[in-house]
Copies of this chain bind each other. A is one copy, B any other.
Amino acid sequence: MVSKVKRLLIGRPMKSAEIEGAKLGKFKALAVLSSDALSSVAYGTEQILLVLMAAGFAAVWYSVPISLAVLGLLFILILSYRQTIYAYPAGGGAYIVAKDNLGVSTGLLAGGSLLVDYILTVAVSSSAGTDAITSAFPSLHEHRVLIALVIILVLTVMNLRGVTESASVLATPIYLFVVAIFVLIAAGIVKYATGGAPAHVPEFGAAVSNVSLFLLLKAFSSGCSALTGVEAVSNAIPNFKKPAERNAAATLIMMGTILGAMFIGISLLAYWYGVAPDEKQTVVSQIAESTFGRGAVYYAIQALTALILVLAANTAYSAFPLLAFMLAKDKYMPHAFMVRGDRLGYSNGIIFLGVFSALLVIIFHGNTENLIPLYAVGVFIPFTLSQLGMMVRWIKLRPPGWTTRLAVNTIGMLTTLSITLIFIFTKFTHVWMVFVFLPIVMWTFFAIARHYRNTADELRIDPAEEKPCIKGSTIVVPVAGVTRVVMNSLSYAKSLTDNVVAVYVGFDDEDIERMEKKWAEWDPGVRLITLRSSYRSIIRPIMKFIDTIEWKTAETDHITVLIPQFIAKHWWQHILHNQSSLLLRAYLYNQKDVIIATVPYHLRR
């Protein structure tokens, strides 16, 4: 039943050998990995304008140079990450690069902030997508948590089905979105060039009295939120078709070009059309309305924007399981994150991401806006560490032309570091949680690693010296009466050894006497020991009895507790039987060094 539902949702299991077919080509990769980055154009320009408006409408012209600066940073990041892809063809996320060059702790710091960040990405994006939907259909507003959860559920299932299938689903809307934005930019430029745009625009380069450097930096850092998602490609190299690094680098360049063009285009149009941020209408929506009017094209652009925001969450679904896999391989996260599911994805990572982001949505009732600065910091910390790592690498290895590469990474590192500091400085009330989360995550990583190391030490044997050794055997069979199940168990026990003893727990003398008489009549060739329980517990007397046996024979014998058990045919029948045997097993299992054996008897009816 369960497995049928699973088949329907997830699809047939795939052989391990099918893995190459499940990998990504350049164009599919662009669809899977770029939605987070590309969706940023829906809000990047707006973030800048929002900060500038604090100095009045006259200050909005600064958005153009600031956008150019962001574009410059994007260029640096792309160059920098391109270098990383070629340096780390097996996957060069911030975790790997930082660990490799700056030590394990720094690597875990980068990896931990990325993991937390991916969870935030899914929560924030699904909530933002929901907002877009409920703006169009206000009657759905009270169901926003439910809608966000449905979005997360759909993304989770899609990703459990596997990478390529979800890529096929995603490719169309992402390419349509890109086309729509370019159409919008082209039409907007034409209209502006032919004089169809409103003339009322603040003068470019005019000095505005209350614009401080602080304000400009804040606007710049806000604009940098458009750059989140750029790292996705370099994390995901192992998901690419061969030659993986070349495909990845090409994908990165394509993504950077598209993102840069769209971002600067939107920023320019926003300036030319004199758009000011408005609570009720997004900047993109205002530009689209000015260019096309509220017609079919306008609604198509809005719908695609909403869709792309939802799909941005999907980037995290590619990145999180891969990063979790790498951390698990290094024993900083549970082994379970290394298991490939039926469809060759790392199912546990996908499910973990889905569950935790759903929890965030529930806890914040879908109002996750306040998480956005947190989420930006969570990206820029690993950005910085990754580039610092690359710097160290160039200095250590000194390959031909290393000085240029060092320069690229140094500029990148300093910029991202500044942005991180600006974020912490200007928005401390929103980002302080990072200083709580990260230590906890780091501590967990180390605790897990310590446990795995200890376990491995404890379980390791010296193959030359340590061999299996043979001992005697004593078998204890708890019995509840004279039944077929007990008979089967005794048959089994007697087949293995002659030291078999049956134990019966009675609640009063009458009860015990009756059992002893029955046993004598049956005479199965096994000694019966009866115990009296004053507290109506079966477990405690048996545990005590086993203590005694252990004390007497553990030196010479293996002690086995043989638990007769009949297994009902239908699930509901299970609740009709006292599950003392399950309870006994659980107790023995946790507290005793005895072997626990179950002799099953399957009921036919």
Binding site for B on A (CB under 8 A): 13-17, 334-336, 339-340, 342, 448, 451-452, 454-455, 458-461, 463, 466-473, 482-485, 487, 490-497, 507-508, 518, 521-526, 534-537, 558, 560, 566-568, 573, 575-578, 589-590, 592-605
Q: Is there an interface contact between A334 and B590, defined as CB atoms closer than 8 Å?
A: no
Q: Is there an interface contact between B468 and A524, defined as CB atoms closer than 8 Å?
A: yes
* Chain B residues whose CB sits within 8 angstroms of the CB of A340 once the complex forms: 536
Report the nearest B residue to A565, measured CB to CB.
B589
12 pairs of residues in contact across A and B, judged by CB atoms under 8 Å? A13-B535, A14-B535, A16-B536, A335-B576, A455-B605, A463-B482, A463-B522, A468-B491, A491-B558, A492-B558, A595-B597, A595-B599
Q: A460-B483, A484-B460, A605-B454 are in contact. Are A525 and B598 (CB under 8 A)?
A: no
* Chain B residues whose CB sits within 8 angstroms of the CB of A566 once the complex forms: 455, 459
Tell me the complex Cα distance, A454–B522, Å: 22
Q: Is there an interface contact between B482 and A461, defined as CB atoms closer than 8 Å?
A: yes
Report the nearest B residue to A342, measured CB to CB.
B535
For residue A219, give the distance in angstroms from its CB to the closest CB of chain B.
44
The quantity of this chain's copies bound in the complex is 2
Tell me the complex Cα distance, A599–B452, Å: 20
For residue A531, give the distance in angstroms from its CB to the closest CB of chain B.
14
Q: Quick one: which of A15, A17, A596 has the most chain B CB within 10 A?
A: A596
Report the nearest B residue to A491, measured CB to CB.
B468
Which of B454, B466, B590 is in CB contact (< 8 Å) with A487? B466
* Chain B residues whose CB sits within 8 angstroms of the CB of A484 once the complex forms: 458-461, 466
Which of B455, B602, B603, B604 is in CB contact (< 8 Å) with A603? B455
* Chain B residues whose CB sits within 8 angstroms of the CB of A13 once the complex forms: 535, 537
Tell me the complex Cα distance, A455–B597, Å: 22
Tell me the complex Cα distance, A493–B507, Å: 36
15 additional A-B residue pairs with CB within 8 Å, beyond A467-B524, A469-B491, A596-B597: A16-B536, A334-B577, A336-B578, A340-B536, A342-B535, A451-B568, A451-B605, A455-B603, A458-B604, A459-B601, A461-B482, A467-B522, A467-B525, A496-B497, A594-B600
Tell me the complex Cα distance, A324–B590, Å: 33
Which of B335, B460, B598 is in CB contact (< 8 Å) with A595? B598
Tell me the complex Cα distance, A508–B15, Å: 11
Q: A16-B536, A342-B535, A576-B335 are in contact. Are A494 and B468 (CB under 8 A)?
A: yes
The 7 closest A-B pairs by CB, nearest first: A597-B597, A468-B490, A463-B522, A459-B483, A468-B491, A454-B605, A15-B534
Which of B334, B573, B600 is in CB contact (< 8 Å) with A575? B334
Tell me the complex Cα distance, A578–B335, Å: 7
For residue A162, give the distance in angstroms from its CB to the closest CB of chain B.
14
Tell me the complex Cα distance, A340–B508, Å: 14
* Chain B residues whose CB sits within 8 angstroms of the CB of A490 once the complex forms: 468
Q: Is there an interface contact between A589 and B573, defined as CB atoms closer than 8 Å?
A: no
Q: Is there an interface contact between A596 and B598, defined as CB atoms closer than 8 Å?
A: yes
For residue A448, give the distance in angstroms from its CB to the closest CB of chain B.
6
Which of B339, B535, B599 is in CB contact (< 8 Å) with A16? B535
For residue A188, give the distance in angstroms from its CB to the closest CB of chain B.
51
Report the nearest B residue to A336, measured CB to CB.
B578
Which of B17, B458, B469, B522 is in CB contact (< 8 Å) with A605? B458
* Chain B residues whose CB sits within 8 angstroms of the CB of A448 once the complex forms: 576
* Chain B residues whose CB sits within 8 angstroms of the CB of A524 once the complex forms: 467-468
* Chain B residues whose CB sits within 8 angstroms of the CB of A491 once the complex forms: 468-471, 558
Q: Is there an interface contact between A600 and B595, defined as CB atoms closer than 8 Å?
A: yes
* Chain B residues whose CB sits within 8 angstroms of the CB of A473 once the complex forms: 495-496
Q: A535-B13, A604-B458 are in contact. Are A595 and B334 (CB under 8 A)?
A: no
Tell me the complex Cα distance, A495–B469, Å: 8
* Chain B residues whose CB sits within 8 angstroms of the CB of A470 once the complex forms: 491, 494-495
* Chain B residues whose CB sits within 8 angstroms of the CB of A16 once the complex forms: 507-508, 534-536
* Chain B residues whose CB sits within 8 angstroms of the CB of A452 once the complex forms: 576
For residue A388, give the distance in angstroms from its CB to the closest CB of chain B.
31
Tell me the complex Cα distance, A520–B13, Å: 34
Report the nearest B residue to A604, measured CB to CB.
B458
Q: Is there an interface contact between B573 and A451, defined as CB atoms closer than 8 Å?
A: yes
For residue A561, give the distance in angstroms from its CB to the closest CB of chain B.
10
Report the nearest B residue to A475, measured CB to CB.
B496
Tell me the complex Cα distance, A461–B342, Å: 46
Tell me the complex Cα distance, A340–B507, Å: 11
For residue A355, give the distance in angstroms from its CB to the closest CB of chain B.
13
For residue A292, give the distance in angstroms from its CB to the closest CB of chain B.
48
Report the nearest B residue to A585, measured CB to CB.
B598
For residue A550, give the distance in angstroms from its CB to the closest CB of chain B.
13
Report the nearest B residue to A18, measured CB to CB.
B534
